[in-house]
């Protein structure tokens, strides 16, 4: 394994550099890409997360995740529901730890390109993926619980490079990074049916579809996702990359702007970064970030009631640790974006978003959450 890593690292680094050249210059270079939403069998852990923001302001979130070779709680299926204004169901969260989650790849699929595969958790449910749809079926009769969620009409991270994600060219180095993040769709059409204790709630909404894989989640992190007016979307993930080092990946999409922010511009050693400023406080439920490149700048403020956070398990090397992350689906968000043509010019405000309806997702994980620290004491 070590010899293989040493052998393929120069090739992965070359692909990364060529991809950066293509992004900067616009010159088309041949760099073969794979679909990173497909399974990574050699990864230490792999998790799929879908957050559906329902039309009435509610949220349905689903997780399929495995920590391969873990000593305890190797597999996880998690379903969370936060009701909206028209719901007849109360909020709920179910955590299931099945003995196995089996992965079946369609026999005609090519891992580099096709997306056809299926995750199956016995006596719990399945996640079926094709190039054009995702179908979740979760059914636990003894709990009188059933979820059917269908996603279609994906919105890729980049229409020009549809297999790209938040990491951009860094995806070529995914085999050598402790944690990776990929977004299949920033906004898919969603239709769902939720049955619990004899009551059924049906709804439609917009789904954000992503996955993580690698060795383990970091010691501390923050994640956020929002769907705004006129098809705008925002998502962010970051935190402790190494000891004393923080790094973030950010994407903002609107009919006018398709902006990404990633290292080195979203990189900090301790509290020092020439391009980024971050403040977070899980006690008050607030997060503020400002980052810039030479020609673009973004500022985001997110706030959620401290009482709205729900404890979630997180994939660590020993297995899924319960209540190692806390997430709210009731945060408010404001975003401002500026640009300039040359680095010496003044910034010009080009877009602002203020979402008064509190349905943004905000998560504090590990050391970034005071609740996690309290549980460890």
Taking a C-beta distance cutoff of 8 angstroms, is the pair 182, 171 a contact?
Answer: yes
Paired tokens of 266: 């979203």
pLDDT tens series, the chain, 377 aa: 433 455 565 655 556 666 655 666 555 555 556 788 999 999 999 999 999 999 999 999 999 999 999 999 999 999 999 999 889 999 999 999 999 999 998 776 555 456 789 999 999 999 999 989 999 999 999 999 999 999 999 999 998 888 889 988 777 677 778 899 999 999 999 999 999 999 999 999 999 999 999 999 999 999 999 998 778 999 999 998 777 789 999 999 999 999 999 998 999 987 788 999 999 999 999 999 999 999 999 999 999 999 999 999 999 999 999 999 999 999 999 999 999 999 999 999 999 987 666 789 999 999 999 998 666 65
Exposure of 230 by Cβ count < 10 A (0-12 exposed, 13-18 middle, 19+ buried)? exposed
User: Residue 68 and residue 176: Cα distance in Å, rounded?
Assistant: 17
User: Residue 69 and residue 318: Cα distance in Å, rounded?
Assistant: 8
User: Residue 95 and residue 167: Cα distance in Å, rounded?
Assistant: 29
User: Residue 124 and residue 120: Cα distance in Å, rounded?
Assistant: 8
Residues in the chain: 377
User: Residue 196 and residue 189: Cα distance in Å, rounded?
Assistant: 23
Distances (CA, A) of 286 to 65, 110, 196, 362: 28, 43, 33, 9
Sign of the CA dihedral with 253 first, then 82, 203, and 212 last? positive
Cβ atoms within 10 A of the Cβ of 82, count? Answer: 24
Which helix (H) or strand (E) is 141 found in, with range? none
User: Residue 368 and residue 373: Cα distance in Å, rounded?
Assistant: 8
pTM across the whole model: 0.91
pLDDT digits (tens, 9 = 90+) for 221-234: 999 999 987 789 99
- Minimal CA–CA distance to 80: which of 54, 101, 118, 45? 54
Q: Does domain 1-215 have CATH number 3.40.50.720?
A: no
Query: Phi/psi of residue 269, each to 5°?
Result: -105, 115
Taking a C-beta distance cutoff of 8 angstroms, is the pair 300, 338 a contact?
Answer: no
User: Residue 128 and residue 120: Cα distance in Å, rounded?
Assistant: 8
Buried b / exposed e over 277-289, threshold 16 CB at 10 Å, is ebebebeebbbeb
Half-sphere exposure of 169 (CA within 13 A, CB side): 21
Query: How many Å separate Cα 59 from the centre of its chain?
Result: 15
Residues 6+ away with beta carbon under 8 Å from 299? 288, 289, 290, 335, 336, 337
Per DSSP bridges, beta strands 348-366 and 233-242 are: unpaired
pLDDT digits (tens, 9 = 90+) for 159-198: 888 888 998 877 767 777 889 999 999 999 999 999 999 9
DSSP 111-126: TTT---EEEEETTTEE
């Amino acid at each position: 394994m070590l010899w293989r890593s040493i052998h393929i690292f120069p090739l992965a680094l070359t692909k990364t550099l060529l991809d950066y050249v293509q992004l900067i210059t616009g010159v088309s270079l041949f760099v073969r890409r794979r679909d990173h939403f497909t399974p990574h069998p050699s990864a230490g852990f792999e998790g799929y997360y879908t957050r559906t923001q329902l039309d009435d302001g509610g949220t349905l979130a689903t997780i399929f995740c495995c920590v391969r070779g873990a000593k305890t709680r190797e597999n996880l299926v998690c379903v969370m529901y936060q009701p909206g204004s028209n719901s007849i169901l109360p909020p709920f969260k179910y955590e299931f730890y099945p003995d196995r989650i089996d992965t079946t790849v369609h026999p005609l699929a090519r891992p580099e390109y096709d997306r056809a595969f299926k995750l199956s958790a016995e006596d719990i449910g399945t996640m079926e993926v094709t190039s054009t749809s995702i179908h979740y079926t979760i059914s636990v009769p003894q709990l009188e619980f059933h979820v059917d969620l269908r996603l279609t009409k994906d919105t890729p991270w980049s229409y020009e490079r549809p297999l790209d994600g938040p990491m951009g060219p860094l995806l070529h180095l995914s085999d050598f990074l402790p944690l990776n993040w990929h977004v299949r769709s920033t906004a898919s059409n969603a239709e769902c049916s939720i049955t619990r204790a004899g009551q059924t709630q049906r709804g439609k909404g917009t789904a954000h579809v992503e996955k993580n894989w690698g060795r383990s989640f970091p010691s501390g992190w923050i994640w956020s996702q929002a769907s705004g007016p006129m098809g705008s979307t925002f998502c962010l993930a970051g935190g402790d990359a190494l000891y004393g080092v923080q790094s973030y990946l950010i994407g903002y999409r609107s009919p006018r702007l398709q902006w990404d922010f990633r290292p080195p511009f979203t990189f900090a050693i301790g509290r020092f970064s020439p391009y980024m400023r971050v403040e977070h406080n899980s006690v008050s439920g607030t997060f503020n970030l400002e980052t810039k490149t030479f020609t673009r700048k973004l500022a985001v403020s997110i706030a959620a009631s401290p009482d709205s956070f729900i404890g979630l398990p997180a994939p660590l090397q020993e297995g899924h640790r319960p209540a190692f992350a806390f997430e709210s689906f009731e945060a408010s968000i404001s975003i401002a974006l500026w640009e300039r043509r040359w680095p010496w010019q003044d910034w010009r405000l080009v877009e602002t978003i203020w979402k008064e309806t509190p349905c943004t997702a905000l998560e504090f994980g590990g050391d970034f959450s005071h609740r996690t620290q309290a549980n460890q004491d």
